[in-house]
Copies of this chain bind each other. A is one copy, B any other.
Amino acid sequence: MKIFNTPPQEIRELDQSDTLSAKRNEFLVPDDIIYLNGNSLGPLTKNSQQRAQEVVFEQWGKDLIASWNKHAWIDLPFIAGEKIAKIIGAAEHQLVCCDSVSINLLKVLACCLQMQPTRNILLSQKENFPTDLYVAQGLEALLGPTRCKLKTVAEPELANALDKDVAVLFLSQVNFRNGDRHDIEKISFLAREKGILVVWDLSHSVGVLPLKMDEWEVDFAIGCGYKYLNGGPGAPAFIYANKKNHAAIKQPIQGWMGHREPFTFDPDYKNAAGIAQFLTGTSPILSLAVLDSALDIFTDITIIDINRKANALAELFLDLVKNDEDLNCLTLESKADSTLRGSQLAFSHADAYGISRALNKADVVVDFRSPNICLLYTSDAADE
Protein backbone atom coordinates (compact mmCIF):
# COMPACT_ATOMS: atom_id res chain seq x y z
CA MET A 1 0.00 0.00 0.00
CA LYS A 2 1.63 3.11 -1.23
CA ILE A 3 0.05 5.49 1.24
CA PHE A 4 1.95 4.14 4.21
CA ASN A 5 5.30 4.32 2.52
CA THR A 6 7.56 7.30 3.00
CA PRO A 7 5.30 10.23 2.21
CA PRO A 8 6.13 12.45 -0.72
CA GLN A 9 8.02 15.62 -0.19
CA GLU A 10 4.90 17.82 -0.32
CA ILE A 11 3.34 15.98 2.61
CA ARG A 12 6.51 16.25 4.68
CA GLU A 13 6.55 19.96 3.99
CA LEU A 14 2.91 20.38 5.01
CA ASP A 15 3.72 18.70 8.27
CA GLN A 16 6.85 20.73 8.91
CA SER A 17 5.14 24.03 8.29
CA ASP A 18 2.34 23.17 10.72
CA THR A 19 2.28 25.01 14.04
CA LEU A 20 1.61 21.76 15.92
CA SER A 21 4.36 19.64 14.40
CA ALA A 22 6.65 19.97 17.43
CA LYS A 23 4.05 18.16 19.56
CA ARG A 24 5.14 14.87 18.00
CA ASN A 25 8.35 15.11 20.05
CA GLU A 26 6.42 15.05 23.30
CA PHE A 27 5.27 11.50 22.58
CA LEU A 28 7.19 8.23 22.71
CA VAL A 29 5.52 6.45 19.77
CA PRO A 30 8.08 4.02 18.30
CA ASP A 31 9.49 5.25 14.98
CA ASP A 32 8.80 1.99 13.17
CA ILE A 33 5.03 1.98 13.56
CA ILE A 34 2.25 4.15 12.19
CA TYR A 35 -0.22 4.46 15.03
CA LEU A 36 -3.78 5.12 13.90
CA ASN A 37 -5.50 3.88 17.03
CA GLY A 38 -5.59 6.82 19.43
CA ASN A 39 -9.34 6.42 19.75
CA SER A 40 -8.75 3.10 21.50
CA LEU A 41 -5.59 3.83 23.47
CA GLY A 42 -3.65 7.07 23.29
CA PRO A 43 0.14 6.73 23.17
CA LEU A 44 2.64 7.38 25.97
CA THR A 45 3.93 10.91 26.47
CA LYS A 46 7.37 11.74 27.82
CA ASN A 47 5.60 13.60 30.63
CA SER A 48 3.76 10.49 31.69
CA GLN A 49 6.78 8.26 31.59
CA GLN A 50 8.66 10.62 33.89
CA ARG A 51 5.67 10.99 36.21
CA ALA A 52 5.22 7.25 36.52
CA GLN A 53 8.80 6.86 37.66
CA GLU A 54 8.41 9.78 40.08
CA VAL A 55 5.12 8.70 41.66
CA VAL A 56 6.28 5.12 42.15
CA PHE A 57 9.87 5.55 43.22
CA GLU A 58 10.16 9.06 44.66
CA GLN A 59 6.70 9.46 46.17
CA TRP A 60 5.31 6.06 47.16
CA GLY A 61 8.77 4.51 47.58
CA LYS A 62 10.36 7.25 49.67
CA ASP A 63 7.64 9.35 51.23
CA LEU A 64 5.11 6.54 51.62
CA ILE A 65 1.91 7.52 53.45
CA ALA A 66 3.05 11.15 53.77
CA SER A 67 2.62 11.51 50.01
CA TRP A 68 -1.13 11.90 50.37
CA ASN A 69 -0.45 15.44 51.52
CA LYS A 70 3.18 16.07 50.57
CA HIS A 71 2.58 15.22 46.91
CA ALA A 72 -1.10 16.19 46.90
CA TRP A 73 -2.35 12.71 46.03
CA ILE A 74 -5.55 13.57 47.85
CA ASP A 75 -6.16 16.48 45.45
CA LEU A 76 -5.28 14.66 42.24
CA PRO A 77 -8.90 13.90 41.23
CA PHE A 78 -9.53 17.65 41.22
CA ILE A 79 -6.17 18.72 39.79
CA ALA A 80 -6.59 16.43 36.79
CA GLY A 81 -10.28 17.34 36.66
CA GLU A 82 -9.57 21.04 36.23
CA LYS A 83 -7.22 20.29 33.35
CA ILE A 84 -10.00 18.39 31.58
CA ALA A 85 -12.45 21.19 32.42
CA LYS A 86 -10.42 23.55 30.24
CA ILE A 87 -10.50 21.03 27.39
CA ILE A 88 -14.29 20.65 27.45
CA GLY A 89 -15.27 24.27 28.05
CA ALA A 90 -16.17 24.11 31.72
CA ALA A 91 -15.47 26.65 34.45
CA GLU A 92 -13.80 25.49 37.68
CA HIS A 93 -15.23 23.16 40.32
CA GLN A 94 -17.35 21.07 37.98
CA LEU A 95 -14.97 18.25 37.04
CA VAL A 96 -13.48 15.34 38.90
CA CYS A 97 -11.47 12.31 37.74
CA CYS A 98 -12.38 8.96 39.22
CA ASP A 99 -13.47 5.37 38.62
CA SER A 100 -14.46 4.18 35.14
CA VAL A 101 -16.84 5.61 32.54
CA SER A 102 -19.38 2.88 33.38
CA ILE A 103 -19.34 3.56 37.10
CA ASN A 104 -19.51 7.30 36.51
CA LEU A 105 -22.45 6.94 34.16
CA LEU A 106 -24.23 4.92 36.83
CA LYS A 107 -23.66 7.74 39.31
CA VAL A 108 -25.03 10.45 37.08
CA LEU A 109 -28.00 8.43 35.84
CA ALA A 110 -28.93 7.68 39.44
CA CYS A 111 -28.62 11.39 40.26
CA CYS A 112 -30.86 12.29 37.32
CA LEU A 113 -33.58 9.89 38.47
CA GLN A 114 -33.39 11.36 41.95
CA MET A 115 -33.74 14.87 40.52
CA GLN A 116 -36.76 13.79 38.44
CA PRO A 117 -39.07 12.00 40.88
CA THR A 118 -42.05 11.95 38.49
CA ARG A 119 -40.21 10.58 35.45
CA ASN A 120 -38.78 7.11 34.94
CA ILE A 121 -37.41 6.86 31.40
CA LEU A 122 -33.70 6.77 30.61
CA LEU A 123 -33.64 7.57 26.90
CA SER A 124 -30.79 6.68 24.62
CA GLN A 125 -29.93 5.67 21.13
CA LYS A 126 -29.76 2.06 19.95
CA GLU A 127 -26.30 2.74 18.53
CA ASN A 128 -24.90 4.12 21.80
CA PHE A 129 -21.68 2.60 23.07
CA PRO A 130 -22.88 -0.74 24.45
CA THR A 131 -21.40 -0.40 27.94
CA ASP A 132 -23.48 2.76 28.43
CA LEU A 133 -26.58 0.74 27.64
CA TYR A 134 -25.46 -2.05 29.99
CA VAL A 135 -25.17 0.44 32.84
CA ALA A 136 -28.73 1.62 32.25
CA GLN A 137 -30.01 -1.95 31.91
CA GLY A 138 -28.36 -2.76 35.24
CA LEU A 139 -29.92 0.26 36.91
CA GLU A 140 -33.31 -0.79 35.57
CA ALA A 141 -32.80 -4.30 36.99
CA LEU A 142 -31.82 -2.78 40.33
CA LEU A 143 -34.60 -0.21 40.67
CA GLY A 144 -37.38 -1.91 38.75
CA PRO A 145 -39.13 -0.55 35.63
CA THR A 146 -41.62 1.61 37.54
CA ARG A 147 -38.77 3.75 38.78
CA CYS A 148 -36.30 3.26 35.95
CA LYS A 149 -36.90 2.10 32.41
CA LEU A 150 -34.39 2.21 29.59
CA LYS A 151 -35.78 3.20 26.21
CA THR A 152 -33.61 3.17 23.12
CA VAL A 153 -34.56 4.51 19.71
CA ALA A 154 -32.76 4.83 16.40
CA GLU A 155 -31.02 8.17 15.86
CA PRO A 156 -33.71 9.75 13.61
CA GLU A 157 -36.39 9.05 16.26
CA LEU A 158 -34.58 10.82 19.09
CA ALA A 159 -36.25 14.23 18.84
CA ASN A 160 -39.73 12.70 18.79
CA ALA A 161 -39.00 10.53 21.79
CA LEU A 162 -38.34 13.52 24.06
CA ASP A 163 -41.53 13.47 26.13
CA LYS A 164 -42.67 14.17 29.67
CA ASP A 165 -41.81 10.67 30.93
CA VAL A 166 -38.16 11.01 30.04
CA ALA A 167 -36.02 11.80 33.08
CA VAL A 168 -32.72 11.86 31.25
CA LEU A 169 -31.36 11.61 27.74
CA PHE A 170 -27.91 10.02 27.62
CA LEU A 171 -25.88 9.82 24.46
CA SER A 172 -22.34 9.42 23.21
CA GLN A 173 -21.42 12.45 21.17
CA VAL A 174 -19.38 10.38 18.72
CA ASN A 175 -20.42 6.93 17.55
CA PHE A 176 -17.62 4.48 18.29
CA ARG A 177 -18.03 2.62 14.99
CA ASN A 178 -18.53 5.11 12.21
CA GLY A 179 -17.68 8.34 14.00
CA ASP A 180 -21.10 9.99 13.53
CA ARG A 181 -21.23 13.12 15.66
CA HIS A 182 -24.18 14.59 17.53
CA ASP A 183 -24.80 18.32 17.87
CA ILE A 184 -24.63 18.58 21.65
CA GLU A 185 -25.91 22.15 21.81
CA LYS A 186 -28.95 21.50 19.67
CA ILE A 187 -30.02 18.22 21.26
CA SER A 188 -29.42 19.49 24.80
CA PHE A 189 -31.62 22.48 24.01
CA LEU A 190 -34.44 20.27 22.72
CA ALA A 191 -34.25 18.10 25.82
CA ARG A 192 -34.12 21.06 28.20
CA GLU A 193 -37.27 22.48 26.61
CA LYS A 194 -39.06 19.30 27.70
CA GLY A 195 -37.64 19.33 31.25
CA ILE A 196 -35.26 16.46 30.42
CA LEU A 197 -31.77 16.27 31.88
CA VAL A 198 -28.89 15.41 29.52
CA VAL A 199 -25.80 13.28 30.06
CA TRP A 200 -23.16 13.28 27.33
CA ASP A 201 -20.53 10.58 27.03
CA LEU A 202 -17.50 12.40 25.65
CA SER A 203 -15.20 9.37 25.53
CA HIS A 204 -14.64 9.68 21.79
CA SER A 205 -14.73 13.49 21.72
CA VAL A 206 -12.59 14.83 24.54
CA GLY A 207 -9.22 16.06 23.39
CA VAL A 208 -10.12 16.25 19.69
CA LEU A 209 -13.41 18.10 19.33
CA PRO A 210 -14.13 21.67 20.45
CA LEU A 211 -16.58 21.44 23.35
CA LYS A 212 -18.46 24.07 25.36
CA MET A 213 -20.18 22.26 28.21
CA ASP A 214 -21.04 25.39 30.18
CA GLU A 215 -22.18 27.45 27.22
CA TRP A 216 -24.31 24.59 25.90
CA GLU A 217 -25.87 24.19 29.37
CA VAL A 218 -25.14 20.48 29.50
CA ASP A 219 -26.25 18.91 32.80
CA PHE A 220 -23.72 16.10 33.12
CA ALA A 221 -20.93 14.63 31.08
CA ILE A 222 -18.67 11.66 31.52
CA GLY A 223 -15.68 10.52 29.55
CA CYS A 224 -12.64 8.42 29.19
CA GLY A 225 -9.05 9.25 30.14
CA TYR A 226 -7.23 6.73 27.98
CA LYS A 227 -8.29 7.56 24.44
CA TYR A 228 -7.49 11.00 23.04
CA LEU A 229 -6.38 12.22 26.48
CA ASN A 230 -3.51 9.70 26.39
CA GLY A 231 -3.84 8.87 30.10
CA GLY A 232 -2.69 5.27 29.82
CA PRO A 233 -4.55 1.94 29.70
CA GLY A 234 -7.66 2.08 31.87
CA ALA A 235 -6.85 5.59 33.11
CA PRO A 236 -9.51 6.98 35.46
CA ALA A 237 -12.56 8.50 33.81
CA PHE A 238 -14.14 11.87 34.57
CA ILE A 239 -17.46 13.42 35.54
CA TYR A 240 -18.66 16.89 34.70
CA ALA A 241 -21.62 18.16 36.68
CA ASN A 242 -22.90 21.59 35.77
CA LYS A 243 -22.92 23.96 38.75
CA LYS A 244 -26.59 24.72 38.20
CA ASN A 245 -27.39 21.19 39.44
CA HIS A 246 -25.01 21.02 42.41
CA ALA A 247 -27.58 22.00 45.04
CA ALA A 248 -30.04 19.35 43.81
CA ILE A 249 -27.59 16.46 43.51
CA LYS A 250 -27.47 13.66 46.00
CA GLN A 251 -25.21 11.08 44.48
CA PRO A 252 -26.17 7.63 45.80
CA ILE A 253 -22.98 5.64 45.03
CA GLN A 254 -21.44 6.73 48.30
CA GLY A 255 -17.91 6.25 49.54
CA TRP A 256 -15.61 7.98 51.98
CA MET A 257 -13.85 10.19 49.42
CA GLY A 258 -17.21 11.84 48.70
CA HIS A 259 -17.83 12.56 52.38
CA ARG A 260 -17.44 16.18 53.43
CA GLU A 261 -14.92 15.15 56.10
CA PRO A 262 -13.51 11.74 55.15
CA PHE A 263 -10.94 11.63 57.93
CA THR A 264 -13.29 12.24 60.83
CA PHE A 265 -14.59 8.71 60.16
CA ASP A 266 -18.15 9.80 60.84
CA PRO A 267 -20.49 6.77 60.79
CA ASP A 268 -23.09 8.78 58.83
CA TYR A 269 -22.55 9.84 55.27
CA LYS A 270 -22.68 13.57 54.72
CA ASN A 271 -21.99 14.37 51.13
CA ALA A 272 -19.31 16.86 50.22
CA ALA A 273 -20.59 19.97 48.51
CA GLY A 274 -20.44 20.20 44.74
CA ILE A 275 -18.45 17.97 42.47
CA ALA A 276 -16.50 16.22 45.26
CA GLN A 277 -19.48 14.06 46.18
CA PHE A 278 -18.93 12.08 42.98
CA LEU A 279 -15.84 10.52 44.49
CA THR A 280 -16.37 7.13 46.11
CA GLY A 281 -13.36 5.01 47.13
CA THR A 282 -9.65 5.76 47.06
CA SER A 283 -8.36 6.69 43.60
CA PRO A 284 -5.77 4.50 41.83
CA ILE A 285 -3.02 7.08 42.29
CA LEU A 286 -0.45 5.62 39.88
CA SER A 287 -2.93 5.59 37.02
CA LEU A 288 -4.36 8.97 38.00
CA ALA A 289 -0.97 10.68 38.28
CA VAL A 290 0.01 9.44 34.84
CA LEU A 291 -3.24 10.76 33.37
CA ASP A 292 -2.64 14.08 35.12
CA SER A 293 0.75 14.41 33.42
CA ALA A 294 -0.57 13.41 30.02
CA LEU A 295 -3.05 16.30 30.22
CA ASP A 296 -0.20 18.81 30.25
CA ILE A 297 0.22 18.12 26.53
CA PHE A 298 -2.86 20.30 26.04
CA THR A 299 -1.77 23.35 27.99
CA ASP A 300 -0.07 25.25 25.17
CA ILE A 301 -2.35 24.31 22.29
CA THR A 302 -6.04 24.73 21.60
CA ILE A 303 -8.54 22.05 20.73
CA ILE A 304 -9.54 24.20 17.78
CA ASP A 305 -6.02 23.86 16.40
CA ILE A 306 -6.00 20.11 17.02
CA ASN A 307 -9.33 19.77 15.28
CA ARG A 308 -8.22 21.86 12.31
CA LYS A 309 -5.10 19.76 11.88
CA ALA A 310 -7.06 16.51 12.35
CA ASN A 311 -9.47 17.53 9.62
CA ALA A 312 -6.65 18.46 7.27
CA LEU A 313 -5.01 15.09 7.91
CA ALA A 314 -8.30 13.30 7.35
CA GLU A 315 -8.92 15.04 4.03
CA LEU A 316 -5.44 14.17 2.87
CA PHE A 317 -5.88 10.58 4.04
CA LEU A 318 -9.20 10.24 2.22
CA ASP A 319 -7.57 11.50 -0.96
CA LEU A 320 -4.72 9.05 -0.63
CA VAL A 321 -7.08 6.12 0.00
CA LYS A 322 -9.15 7.04 -3.02
CA ASN A 323 -6.05 7.06 -5.20
CA ASP A 324 -4.40 3.97 -3.75
CA GLU A 325 -4.94 0.94 -5.97
CA ASP A 326 -4.94 -1.43 -2.97
CA LEU A 327 -7.23 0.61 -0.74
CA ASN A 328 -9.78 2.21 -3.03
CA CYS A 329 -12.01 -0.85 -2.58
CA LEU A 330 -12.80 0.40 0.94
CA THR A 331 -16.12 2.14 1.53
CA LEU A 332 -16.09 5.19 3.77
CA GLU A 333 -18.64 4.68 6.53
CA SER A 334 -17.93 7.98 8.26
CA LYS A 335 -19.59 11.18 7.18
CA ALA A 336 -17.69 12.97 4.43
CA ASP A 337 -18.45 16.31 6.08
CA SER A 338 -15.91 16.67 8.88
CA THR A 339 -18.31 18.72 11.05
CA LEU A 340 -20.59 15.68 11.25
CA ARG A 341 -18.00 13.19 12.45
CA GLY A 342 -15.53 12.67 15.27
CA SER A 343 -11.80 12.46 14.78
CA GLN A 344 -11.83 9.11 13.09
CA LEU A 345 -12.46 7.57 9.70
CA ALA A 346 -14.20 4.24 9.43
CA PHE A 347 -14.16 2.13 6.30
CA SER A 348 -16.08 -1.04 5.61
CA HIS A 349 -15.07 -4.07 3.62
CA ALA A 350 -16.25 -7.68 3.58
CA ASP A 351 -12.73 -8.76 4.56
CA ALA A 352 -12.36 -6.04 7.16
CA TYR A 353 -10.89 -8.35 9.78
CA GLY A 354 -8.23 -9.73 7.47
CA ILE A 355 -7.30 -6.28 6.21
CA SER A 356 -6.97 -4.98 9.77
CA ARG A 357 -4.73 -7.92 10.67
CA ALA A 358 -2.58 -7.40 7.62
CA LEU A 359 -2.17 -3.71 8.33
CA ASN A 360 -1.28 -4.38 11.95
CA LYS A 361 1.28 -6.93 10.82
CA ALA A 362 2.80 -4.26 8.60
CA ASP A 363 3.09 -2.01 11.71
CA VAL A 364 0.20 0.19 10.67
CA VAL A 365 -1.87 -0.03 13.83
CA VAL A 366 -5.58 0.27 13.08
CA ASP A 367 -8.69 -0.98 14.81
CA PHE A 368 -11.36 -3.47 13.82
CA ARG A 369 -15.03 -3.36 14.75
CA SER A 370 -17.12 -6.44 14.17
CA PRO A 371 -18.41 -7.39 11.68
CA ASN A 372 -17.01 -5.31 8.82
CA ILE A 373 -15.51 -2.01 9.93
CA CYS A 374 -11.89 -2.36 9.18
CA LEU A 375 -9.98 0.79 9.36
CA LEU A 376 -10.18 3.66 11.71
CA TYR A 377 -7.95 6.53 10.98
CA THR A 378 -7.70 8.69 14.03
CA SER A 379 -5.76 11.79 14.68
CA ASP A 380 -4.88 13.35 17.97
CA ALA A 381 -2.04 15.35 19.40
CA ALA A 382 0.30 12.39 18.91
CA ASP A 383 -0.18 12.36 15.19
CA GLU A 384 0.71 15.99 14.73
B287, A284: Cβ atoms under 8 Å?
A: yes
Among residues of B, the one whose C-beta sits closest to the C-beta of A56 is B52
A281 touches B370 (CB 8 A): no
Closest to A177 in B: B265
A-B contact pairs, 8 of them (CB 8 A): A49-B57, A56-B290, A64-B365, A99-B103, A103-B280, A130-B259, A131-B255, A138-B254
Which of B57, B66, B234, B370 is the one whose CB lies under 8 Å from A288?
B234
- In Å, the complex CA distance between A40 and B68 comes to 11
Other 17 A-B pairs with CB < 8 A, given A52-B53, A65-B365, A99-B99: A41-B65, A43-B60, A44-B57, A52-B56, A100-B280, A106-B253, A131-B255, A131-B281, A133-B267, A137-B269, A138-B251, A152-B267, A234-B282, A284-B284, A285-B287, A286-B286, A286-B290
Chain B residue with the shortest CB-CB distance to A285: B233
Residues of B within 8 A of A275 (CB): none
Residues on B with beta carbons closer than 8 Å to the beta carbon of A135 = 254-255
Residues of chain B within 8 A (CB-CB) of A287 are 284-287
Q: A57-B49, A152-B267 are in contact. Are A365 and B100 (CB under 8 A)?
A: no
A360 at interface, CB cutoff 8 A: yes
B233 touches A73 (CB 8 A): yes
Most chain B CB neighbours (cut-off 10 Å) among A138, A284, A369: A284
A267-296 interface with B by 8 A CB criterion: 267-269, 280-288, 290
A97-117: CB near B (< 8 Å → 1, else 0) gives 001111100100010000000
Answer yes or no: A240 CB below 8 A from chain B CBs: no
* Pair B142/A252 contact, Cβ less than 8 Å: yes
* Closest residue on chain B to residue A136 by CB atoms: B254
Chain A interface: which size bin?
A: 35 or more
> Chain B residues near A254 (CB, 8 Å)?
102, 134-135, 137-138, 141
Chain B residues whose C-beta falls within 8 Å of the C-beta of A237 in the assembled complex:
281
In the complex, chain B residues whose CB is within 8 Å of the CB of A40: 65
A25-62 interface bits toward B, Cβ cutoff 8 Å, 1 = contact, 0 = none: 00011100101010011011000110011001100111
* Across-interface contacts of A30 in B (CB, < 8 A): 61-62
- A76 → chain B, closest Cβ, in Å? 9
Which of chain B's residues have a CB closer than 8 A to the CB of A236? Answer: 284
What's the nearest-Cβ distance from chain B to residue A42, in Å?
Answer: 9
Would you list which residues of chain A between 332 and 384 have a CB under 8 Å from chain B? 360, 365, 367, 369-370
Report the nearest B residue to A46, measured CB to CB.
B61
- Determine whether A232 belongs to the interface, using a CB cutoff of 8 Å to chain B: yes
Q: Give Cα A226 to B67, complex, Å.
A: 14
B285 with A61: CB separation less than 8 A? no
- Residues B35 and A64 in contact, CB atoms below 8 Å apart: yes
When distances are taken between beta carbons in the complex, the residues of chain B under 8 Å from A78 are: none
**Complex contacts, A268 vs chain B, CB 8 Å:** 133, 137
Across the interface, do A232 and B285 meet the contact criterion of CB distance under 8 Å? yes
Asked whether any CB of chain B lies closer than 8 Å to the CB of A139, the reply is: yes
Bound-complex Cα distance A62 to B27 (A): 11
Residue of B nearest to A48 (CB): B56
